[in-house]
């Protein structure tokens, strides 16, 4: 029988709290998530912040493009949904939360806008991990951080800079030999959209036969949760970690 997938809280417990906020990640940890997922961008003054979109307009009371704002300016902005929550969450803070967690917890960091800024996000990520002792030369055997991107160039250059940190190549369609489970050498895990598994659940076994585990996103529907479990997915990213965990424990 296949192992139960590990539950990754996508943008925190974002079904219940505003995405990418401290409270969304605190709730995910309280709800027993095995791992957290976040998107990162670089501010004008060089800080990595947890923001999905190019602009902060959708997720905050502020306006503007992340790369044109300072982290101090984003400290004055409300990122809460029903309850006010001022200040953007930095990746440094989130990493601190993960490392302070009483249970071993992983963090999946997705770099955004990797092409436009020519590797700046990955460069900053490697530097931050190094400050935490999580990148070369002293990477722990079981790295708590995994890096991911839809951009192959971003994953490749990150892997070159931090070979000990696992990488996930995200994709939302099968192209070339991908359907057969083939991944480039610098991508440690396959990261398909769950819609691809609805079409072809055998992908997970083919990737596994070639030595690659699968991280699947974004899995909220009980039918998809079952699909991931039966296909042998290792990590399942969901906006609702508690109900997903309960479903996996008692289908």
Work out how close the CB of 114 gets to ligand G3P at its nearest, in angstroms, rounded to a whole number.
12
Which one of residues 19, 34, 39, 242 is an interface residue with ligand G3P (CB under 6 A)? 39
Longest alpha-carbon distance in the chain: 51
What is the phi/psi pair of residue 107, to 5°? -130, 120
Work out how close the CB of 218 gets to ligand G3P at its nearest, in angstroms, rounded to a whole number.
6
* Stretch in the footprint of Ca ion (CB under 5 A) among 39-47, 60-68, 120-128, 202-210: 39-47
Which of ligand G3P, Ca ion, none binds 170 (CB below 5-8 Å, type-dependent)?
ligand G3P
Residue 138 in tokens: 């002293």
Residue of 20, 47, 52, 113 marked active site = 52
Which one of residues 110, 122, 188, 242 is an interface residue with ligand G3P (CB under 6 A)? 110
Site for ligand G3P in 204-243 (CB under 6 A): 217-218, 237
| Residue nearest Ca ion by beta-carbon distance | 110
Work out how close the CB of 170 gets to Ca ion at its nearest, in angstroms, rounded to a whole number.
8
Catalytic residue at 52?
A: yes
Rounded CA gap, 73 and 17, in Å? 23
Rounded CA gap, 149 and 28, in Å? 22
Residue 170 interacts with ligand G3P (CB under 6 A)?
Answer: yes
Work out how close the CB of 110 gets to Ca ion at its nearest, in angstroms, rounded to a whole number.
4
Residue of 10, 20, 47, 113 marked active site = 10
């Amino acid at each position: 029988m296949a192992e139960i997938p590990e539950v990754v809280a996508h943008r925190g417990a974002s079904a219940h709290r505003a995405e990418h906020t401290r409270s969304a990640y605190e709730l995910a940890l309280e709800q027993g998530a095995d791992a957290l997922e976040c998107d990162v961008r670089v501010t004008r003054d060089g800080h990595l912040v947890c923001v999905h979109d190019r602009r902060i307009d959708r997720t905050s009371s502020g306006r503007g493009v992340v790369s044109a704002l300072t982290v101090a300016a984003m400290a004055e902005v409300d990122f809460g949904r029903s309850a006010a929550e001022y200040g953007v969450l930095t990746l440094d803070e989130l990493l601190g939360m993960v490392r302070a967690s009483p249970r071993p917890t992983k963090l999946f960091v997705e770099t955004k806008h990797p092409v436009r800024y020519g590797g700046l996000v990955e460069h900053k990520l490697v530097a931050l991990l190094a400050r935490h002792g999580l990148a070369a030369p002293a990477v722990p055997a079981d790295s708590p951080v995994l890096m991911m991107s839809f951009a192959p160039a971003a994953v490749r250059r990150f892997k070159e800079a931090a070979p000990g940190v696992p990488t996930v190549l995200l994709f939302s369609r099968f192209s070339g030999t991908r359907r057969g489970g083939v991944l480039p050498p610098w991508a440690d895990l396959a990261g398909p959209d769950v819609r691809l598994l609805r079409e072809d659940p055998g992908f997970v076994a083919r990737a596994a036969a070639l030595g690659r585990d699968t991280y699947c996103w974004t899995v909220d529907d009980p039918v998809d949760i079952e699909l991931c479990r039966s296909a042998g997915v290792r990590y399942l990213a969901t906006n609702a970690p508690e109900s997903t965990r309960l479903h996996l424990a008692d289908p």
